[in-house]
Amino acid sequence: MQQKKELNIQMGSCIRKARLQAGLTQEAFAELLHLGPKHISAMERGTVGLSMETLQNICQVLHVSADTLLFGDIEKSPADALSGLGGFLLKNLPR
């Protein structure tokens, strides 16, 4: 069994959430990406990493940003993200 890297596990979980939100099965998702269902399963479990090309294709198919998959902001709306950024800037900018 391949060793899981923490980033791969986190990203795989985000891919799975986004795939489910898009209403896709692993089989349908695999077909859209021209990959096998076993590869999709391995990505979602974090046992394999992603190439940049695969990441780009996933983002296009699921209509999500790479940031969403890398940092797990699937539930956040753009307004939530801006609100969080505003709070961060207020706390950290010199006065």
The full set of domains in the chain, from first to last, is 6-92 (1.10.260.40)
Per-residue model confidence (pLDDT) at position 43: 96
Give the pLDDT of residue 72.
81
Question: In Å, how far are 14, 15, 53, 67 from 59, measured between CA atoms?
Answer: 11, 9, 10, 10
Question: What is the structure's pLDDT at 89?
Answer: 58
Note the pLDDT tens digit of each residue in 12-34. Answer: 999 999 999 999 999 999 999 99
CB 39 within 8 A of CB 45: no
Tell me how far apart the terminal alpha carbons of the chain are, to the nearest angstrom. 53
Q: Tell me: the pLDDT tens digits for 31-89? A: 999 999 999 999 999 999 999 999 999 999 999 999 999 888 655 555 555 555 566 55
